[in-house]
Amino acid sequence: MFKGSYVALVTPFKDDQVDEETLRRLVEFQIENGTSGIVPCGTTGESATLTHEEHKRVVEIVIDQVAKRVPVIAGAGSNNTAEAIELTKHAKKAGADAALHITPYYNKPTQEGIYLHFQALAKECGLPIVVYNIQGRTGVNITPQTMARLAEIPEVVAVKEASGNLNQMAEMINLCGDKVDFLSGDDALTLPLLSIGGSGVISVVNNLVPKMLAELVDAWFAGDLAGAREKANHLFPLSQAMFIETNPIPIKTAMALTGLIPNAEMRLPMCPMQPANLEKLKAVLQRYGLLE
């Protein structure tokens, strides 16, 4: 169902308010440069510090601006199942193509609790679900066996896999077969995941260089393996630089430095980059010709 290069879109702010004009412009920038789909209100979109009203408004703005040209996978995850259901119902009403759901965090559910959480979302909402597995942020890993159970739920159509564990990804793919699509949640592992059966990526660095990501994935699916490998290797240092500090600090800073957004405004506890890391980021951007 979902294939290609998707962007985990940043949420631009201006004076501590969502900058709607810039948000709409970012959507256009992505579509013009070949991005396969837009994912608002994920981690990179600072969903954790958006109010519910802001969260819903960002989803609505993105869906309106996209105007059905590419799929929109709206972030709707929560560690509270009832809250996740509410956000998913809103995404469905707004016209989203699917909802991205992180595993419940902090409360550290069991594997059975994870399964029941997604089962409830499917039953109550009836919207396609992209499961987001990222133990480094949530403290909980979805095991391959649990993912195989989730794949039997018709509404579960894809996985954003950011465990960093290729062995686990391979086991999941083997257990799930073609019942769900596997999207990389780690830019550096996009090509490795494609090589074992993945269908694409939900990318952070795509905010900055969407054309590069689109060309990488397109090359792979066109059978140009050497070209895909060359593009992945070229992109690797830039992808790594986006995690010099906690995401989305580096990507927002890079976008502000290169003029894609007016400023790198974030909400606490996200804060401006430390001076030494800022210089490292600038050096990488200069290497790619993105900054003079």
* pLDDT tens, residue by residue, 142-193: 999 999 999 999 999 999 999 999 999 999 999 999 999 999 999 999 999 9
Cα(185)–Cα(211) distance, integer angstroms = 18
Long-range (24+ apart) CB contacts under 8 A made by 146-152 are 146/111, 146/114, 146/115, 147/172, 147/175, 147/176, 147/180, 148/172, 148/175, 148/176, 149/115, 150/115, 150/118, 150/180, 151/175, 151/176, 151/177, 151/179, 151/180, 152/179
pLDDT of residue 44: 97
250 occurs within a structural domain = no
Does residue 260 lie in a domain region? no
Structure confidence at residue 32 as a pLDDT band (50, 70, 90): very high
Q: How many domains does the chain have?
A: 1
**Per-residue confidence at 96, pLDDT binned at 50, 70, 90?**
very high
Residue 286 domain-assigned (yes or no): no
pLDDT digits (tens, 9 = 90+) for 246-285: 999 999 999 999 999 999 999 999 999 999 999 999 999 9
Q: Tell whether 83 is covered by a domain.
A: yes
Selecting among 6, 115, 132, 252, the annotated active-site residue is 132
Per the annotation, the verdict on 106 as an active-site residue is: no
Determine, yes or no, domain membership for 134: yes
In a domain, 241, yes or no: no
- Full residue range of the structural domain in which residue 140 is found: 4-223
User: Does residue 247 belong to any structural domain of this protein?
Assistant: no
Catalytic, 105? Answer no
The DSSP call for residue 72 is B
Is the pLDDT at 228 greater than 90? The verdict is: yes
Would you state the structure tokens that stand for residue 132, as one six-digit string?
């987001």
pLDDT at 292 over 90: no
Mean residue pLDDT of the chain comes to 97
- Domain harbouring 102, CATH code: 3.20.20.70
Asked, for residue 273, whether it belongs to a domain, the answer is no
How many whole angstroms separate alpha carbon 269 and alpha carbon 94?
Answer: 29
pLDDT band of residue 67 (cuts 50, 70, 90) is very high
Q: What is the mean pLDDT of residues 182-208?
A: 97
- pLDDT(1) > 90: no
Q: Per-residue pLDDT averaged across 47-66, rounded?
A: 97
Instruction: Measure the CA–CA gap between 146 and 175, rounded to whole angstroms.
Output: 10
pLDDT given for residue 73 in this prediction:
98
| H/E element, 192 | helix 190-195
Q: What is the pTM of this model?
A: 0.96
Report how far residue 72's alpha carbon sits from residue 85's, in angstroms, rounded to the nearest whole number: 18
pLDDT at res. 246 = 97
Locate 215 and state its tokens.
């060309």
- Is the confidence at residue 219, as pLDDT, over 90? yes
Catalytic residue selected from 160, 179, 231, 282: 160
Q: What is the mean pLDDT of residues 18-45?
A: 98
Give CA–CA dist 216/190, Å, rounded: 9
